[in-house]
Structure 1
Amino acid sequence: MTTPDRPHRNFYGRRRGKHLRESQEAYLEQDLAALSPGPVDWDANPDRTPLDLAAIFDGREVWLEVGFGGGEHMVHQAERNPGVGIIGCEPYINGVAMLLGKIRRAGVTNLRVHPGDARDLFDVLPDASIGKAFLLYPDPWPKKKHHRRRFVTSEHLDPLARVLKPGAEFRVATDIPDYVRQTLEEVPRHGFDWLAEGPSDWREPWEDWISTRYEQKALREGRVPHYLTFRRR
């Protein structure tokens, strides 16, 4: 069997903040390994063997959240949808620690956590295996020269389209007008239809929405959230 060549991938952004509380260090040490979806990193899975999602989640439908921040939305969805398995990926370890604390308090068992780059997770997700995906308040990379670092580029959207089932929903929330522009330009080019029929469809949040700390910061600073819904063709 030929082992795939490991691609060179630049990573931009922080992986760790200045300080973790003692309790958060304990969450990472005690809980994180048990919540892994399986061998994702190249050292653990150099052949890029696809994850067995049916085994991980007992045959349930699987959803994906890319960059879950502090984990509020992910836990909220897990509580509302116990019949669904949800995988979240987040390279910022402080956010991972926050999520683990929320998982403990909520007692949800239908979550798995990849503390790393979404691109590595895409490498081991089977084709057409994800029923819904979320991209909520992603890093805006506001400088024009950094727009290629945004998630809504071919590097991320091509593999996302591959792992989503036909008809799967892809939700994007952002408070950055230029991110809205780029999302509406790029996402439809990669096999998605925008589902908006009127202004309320991007001005009002989804019925099952929970406002995150990133959204609350945006509102305090006078920025307007946009809620974009796409469907995989």
Structure 2
Amino acid sequence: MATDVLSQATVGTVLADLAALEDPKIRAVNERHGDDHGVNLTKLRAVAKGLKTDHELAGRLWETGDTAARLVAILISRPKAYSGAELDAMLREARVPKVHDWLVSYVVKKNPHVEELRVAWFTDPDPVVASAGWALTSDRVAKAPDGLDLGELLDLVEAQMKDAPDRLQWAMNECLAAIGIHHPEHRARAIDIGERLEVLKDYPTPPGCTSPFAPIWITEIVRRQAER
């Protein structure tokens, strides 16, 4: 019981620290992207660094449902300690884009159940869950493509990406670009699909950044790689 009281008090302290860092201007910017928090991410990472790895506290912070607290929870958790069922439940709760992205990138990718989750999520009827499956597939396309049918992935992108919901569309586009960048034998087809579907063609891209429009993205990264 004493441990529970201490952990609860620590949760309260973390929430108070995050509340003190809340910036209305940052919240306004984040909310345009669907992220309901106003904490500078560099400062949020500093809070997590001060807490160090604490898997029990991470669980309690996650349970609060607070977006900033969940981001800290992800950073202080032990990725390999989660069961596949726990991660599946957490992903289905993670509707905020930044929480979703960090959970996949910082936890799921480092978990021993990553492949079974990738396969299960890839065909999930919930497009937000499916987007995680596509994100994990993009990672495999780049790093461990053996066993993947890249032609079939391109077929799915060609048939479904144009009308997919935003988050799923973005993840499918990322996979399209990954295939074109890392697999020269499929590059021409990947570029052709991107050109015909025109997904993210007009996406506003800051100066110095690469457009997410797949034909431009693929061409630019391949060019950079050739110059190395």
Q: Could you say which structure has the larger radius of gyration?
A: 2
Structure number having the greater helix percentage: 2
Which gives a bigger RCO, structure 1 or 2 (Cα 8 Å, sep 6+)? 1
Richer in strand (by share): 1
- Is the shorter-chain TM-score for this pair beyond 0.5, marking a shared fold? no
TM-score between both structures, scaled by the size of structure 2: 0.32
